[in-house]
Structure 1
Amino acid sequence: MKDEGFNQKIYVDWDTGFVFGGNEYNCGTWMDKMGESEKAGNKGFPGTPRAGAAIEITGLLKSTVRFAIELSKKGLLKHDYVVNQHGDRVTFQAWDDKIQEAFEYAYYVPLNAEDDSQYDIDSHVVHRRGIYKDLYRSTNTYEDYQLRPNFSIAMVVAPELFVVDHAINAIAMADQILRGPVGMATLDPDDLNYRPYYRNSEDSTDFQTAKGVVNGNLD
């Protein structure tokens, strides 16, 4: 990893309640691999850095805060709040409400372009509609709008975040586009960055695939 990959700013954005972190030089989540090919020039460059607020992390955060609320109500936690970086007390319930309120606005990509004004959308970057963004406010805006399977993790751990009709349509699209014979593709096959095969033994000059660095694979 490059030195820049270790220089992380991980924080809660209290406008949304989401946890942000990572950068383009860091393998920030489970689905990444650090480039290691000097021949291809990808050494120190992650295939899928996923900087920003990853959707499955937001879902896991919501479920954690919800659990903290339950423990607090049972008297199993000493406090029912956290103190944020500004020195303000934020109750678990207020944090939970903030995530709930911001989620669909931040992550949903509406089916119809005329509804974009109701969400945080850059219409010029949208590739597919009726999906949930993989990231929110990533280093590279394009990566926000890539169709990946991570939203399904958030659905499992925090289903209350999702509008039912939106969720059903997004699942149907993932089933049609991402599901393969042995599992889920890690990226939309129609994405410009998609590469179908993971071969760690590949010693080529291809920046996108050498030493197993891929942005998405199905097989």
Structure 2
Amino acid sequence: MEFADVVRRRRMVRDYDPDRPVPPQVRERLLEHAIRAPSAGFSQGWAFLVLESPQERERFWAATAGEGAPDRWLSRMRRAPLLIVPLSHKAAYLDRYAEPDKGWEDRDERRWPVPYWDVDTGMAALLMLLTAVDEGLGACFFGIPPGRVEGFRSAFGVPEAYSPVGCVSVGFPGGEDVRSPSLRRGRRTVEEVVHRGHW
């Protein structure tokens, strides 16, 4: 598939065929492409928790979705056969920029204009989303509610130094073509968002 087609066809898929697992070689390509994302100072401060078995996925949903019957969104999302949780590792960046070639002598995070550890991990997640499209799969990036992060950590033994930036669900699209109601707003044009030379 041409790259322009991959970008044009990328969308968040919210329904999956539960009977079609993601082929192992495709799963590995998703991860191999993710680690090609840019990272400040080549810090590569990320990790990826891969959840494939029904037991692992159920444990994820139990930790992050809470009690009660799942709503329509959650019922469809739970059918995804593959969940990948990208985690950022802030300490990797603070350590890297305290090394001699970077010129900082301390690990003061106030030097950072934005949390690059989260930005770079988000870019890795985007590469997984694009790879899924290129492989003929669907994928969706969604967040873990702040009040559920500690439960998630506990359920999977995630060290405190790693923070989930969200989750990527992956699979073959299901029968429902579920579009977000937000799409009714329409995509903003280049002319609306680009400022050339001045605001």
Tell me the TM-score normalized by structure 1.
0.26
Tell me the TM-score normalized by structure 2.
0.28
Larger relative CO (CA 8 A, sep 6+): 1 or 2?
2
